[in-house]
């Protein structure tokens, strides 16, 4: 297992974050894939996992807190020398096998197959698209929330490197987080009402009622964007921690350090992400020996 360790902490307790690179605080960071990152927290070897694709803990681990700390975009990349603007309905229709030819999107496009690509290993781009399509497409409602769905895709590959290589073929179409888009590929604009938007318009984009839970949880579909100026294909970055911090010899002071890190992550802007709506940022509900602490 390959891991990149960086950023020695100045904290007396040397908190360890696995997964994505933290953008606040001074914890030590270990670069791991999302599954490995969360397994390190479940095993008590790391304090926090920062991930875009959450997983459920194994039985017997104890209660886990999934705390939202940011919003990230997913983009639709394609290999065809045309400008492309799509609705989410059209993106879902392509993966459901209802739109098969490029000319069905625009009569001026060539009459060649749309080669839709999916990745078979769990990944955050597939997870976010499944969340978004579940609200508007019966095919995805049947599939449910999965980070490695296949739907009616044309090409199925295992890894992100294979996905990037497959995109070299003319007519291909796939979803990526922005840093994984292959060089030279075009990125579609996504429609929100009458606006054609790019990830520069990223926001959580959902105006909730005062008594509504704004973040329904890591394993529940996100509410669709209802702010017409917000990019519509987005997911949440989760900080994953053990809810009761009195484990493997951790002190209450260490628990407070974890809580402070979560608050810093949720209130500090991050590159290529959008912050959470500040009115919705709550204190992490952490416990020490069964008692909430501040």
Residue 229 in any domain: the answer is no
Residues 81 and 30 in one domain: no
> What percent of the chain is modeled with pLDDT above 70?
95
* 217-247: pLDDT as tens digits: 899 888 899 999 999 999 999 999 999 999 9
For residue 240, give every residue at least 6 positions away whose Cβ sits within 8 Å of its Cβ, in sequence order, or none: 37, 38, 41, 48, 49, 50, 51, 54, 64, 65, 66, 67
pLDDT score for 12 = 55
pLDDT score for 7 = 45
User: Sign of torsion, CA 29 31 35 36?
Assistant: negative
Residue that finishes a domain, picked among 139, 172, 192: 192
pLDDT score for 175 = 98
Residue 230 in any domain: the answer is no
* 126-162: pLDDT as tens digits: 999 999 999 888 889 888 889 999 999 999 999 999 9
Q: Label residue 293 by pLDDT band (50, 70, 90).
A: confident
Residues 86 and 24 in one domain: no
CATH of the domain at 123: 3.40.190.10
pLDDT score for 144 = 86
Residue that finishes a domain, picked among 192, 227, 247: 192
Residue 226 in any domain: the answer is no
Split into its structural domains, the chain has a count of 2
Residues 57 and 84 in one domain: no
Residues 41 and 97 in one domain: no
Entry pTM: 0.91
Residues 16 and 101 in one domain: no
* 7-49: pLDDT as tens digits: 434 445 689 999 999 999 999 999 999 999 999 999 999 999 9
The DSSP code for 264 is H
Q: How many whole angstroms from its chain centre is CA 150?
A: 18
* 41-70: pLDDT as tens digits: 999 999 999 999 999 999 999 999 999 999
Residues 79 and 67 in one domain: no
Query: Residue 240's domain spans which residues?
Result: 4-72+235-292
Average pLDDT on 188-211 reads: 91
């Amino acid at each position: 297992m390959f891991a990149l360790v960086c950023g020695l902490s100045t904290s007396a307790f040397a908190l360890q974050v696995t997964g994505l690179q933290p953008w606040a605080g001074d914890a030590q960071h270990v670069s791991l894939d999302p599954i490995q990152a969360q397994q390190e927290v479940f095993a008590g070897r790391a304090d926090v996992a920062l991930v875009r694709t959450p997983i459920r803990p194994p039985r017997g681990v104890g209660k886990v807190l999934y705390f939202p700390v940011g919003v990230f975009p997913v983009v639709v990349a394609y290999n065809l020398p045309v400008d492309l603007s799509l609705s989410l309905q059209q993106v879902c229709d392509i993966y459901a096998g209802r739109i098969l030819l490029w000319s069905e999107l625009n009569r001026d496009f060539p009459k060649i197959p749309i080669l839709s690509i999916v990745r078979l290993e769990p990944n955050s781009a597939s997870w976010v698209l499944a969340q978004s399509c579940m609200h508007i497409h019966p095919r995805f409602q049947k599939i449910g929330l999965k980070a490695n769905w296949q739907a009616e895709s044309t090409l199925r590959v295992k890894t992100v490197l294979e996905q990037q290589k497959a995109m070299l073929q003319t007519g291909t179409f796939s979803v990526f987080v922005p840093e994984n888009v292959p060089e030279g590929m075009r990125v579609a604009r996504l429609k929100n009402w009458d606006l054609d938007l790019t990830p520069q318009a990223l926001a959580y984009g959902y105006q909730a009622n005062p008594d509504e839970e704004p973040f329904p949880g890591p394993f529940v579909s996100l509410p669709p964007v209802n702010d017409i100026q917000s990019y519509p294909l987005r997911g949440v970055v989760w900080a994953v921690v053990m809810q009761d911090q009195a484990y493997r010899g951790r002190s209450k002071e260490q628990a407070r350090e974890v809580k402070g890190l979560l608050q810093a992550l949720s209130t500090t802007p991050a590159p290529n992400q959008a912050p959470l709506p500040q009115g919705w940022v709550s204190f992490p509900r952490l416990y020490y020996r069964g008692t909430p602490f501040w």
